[in-house]
C-alpha cells in the first residue's frame, strides 16, 4: 500500500477487515498526534505488509466510543477485522511506536 488512508465511520470496518492494519486515531488539536504524523507516514511507506489508516476522532466520536478509545493519540492494530494490540498516551515517541509495532506484528506472524 505505502500510503495512509483516511477512514470515516462509514469506511472504517471495511478498511480494517483484511490483513494487518495499523489505525492511527488522532485529533487536529492533539499536539502529540501531529508530532507522530510524519512517523506514521514513514512506517506506511516502509512496511508493505501493513495497511495504515487514520481515523480523526472528533469526526467519529461514536466509533471511538465503540472502540473504547479514551485518549489521544491511540494506535490500534487489527488483524482481519479484530483488534489485537493497542498503544495510547501523550508520551508516545516515534521509537516507542516502532518498537510496539514490531513486537505486535511479530506476535501476529
Q: Would you name the residues annotated as active-site residues?
A: 30, 33
Report residue 17 CA to chain centroid gap.
14
- How many Å apart are CA 95 and CA 82, to the nearest integer? 25
Cis preceding-peptide flag for 73 (omega within 30 of 0): yes
Q: What's the rounded Cα separation, in Å, for the pair 46 and 67?
A: 27
Amino acid at each position: 500500500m505505502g500510503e495512509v488512508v483516511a477512514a470515516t465511520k462509514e469506511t472504517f470496518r471495511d478498511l480494517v477487515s483484511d490483513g494487518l492494519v495499523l489505525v492511527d486515531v488522532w485529533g487536529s488539536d492533539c499536539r502529540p498526534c501531529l508530532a507522530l504524523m510524519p512517523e506514521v507516514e514513514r512506517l506506511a511507506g516502509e512496511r508493505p505488509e501493513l495497511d495504515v489508516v487514520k481515523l480523526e476522532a472528533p469526526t467519529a466520536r461514536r466509533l471511538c466510543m465503540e472502540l473504547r478509545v479514551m485518549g489521544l493519540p491511540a494506535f490500534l492494530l487489527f488483524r482481519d477485522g479484530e483488534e489485537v494490540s493497542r498503544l495510547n498516551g501523550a508520551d508516545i515517541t516515534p521509537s516507542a511506536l516502532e518498537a510496539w509495532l514490531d513486537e505486535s506484528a511479530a506476535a501476529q506472524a
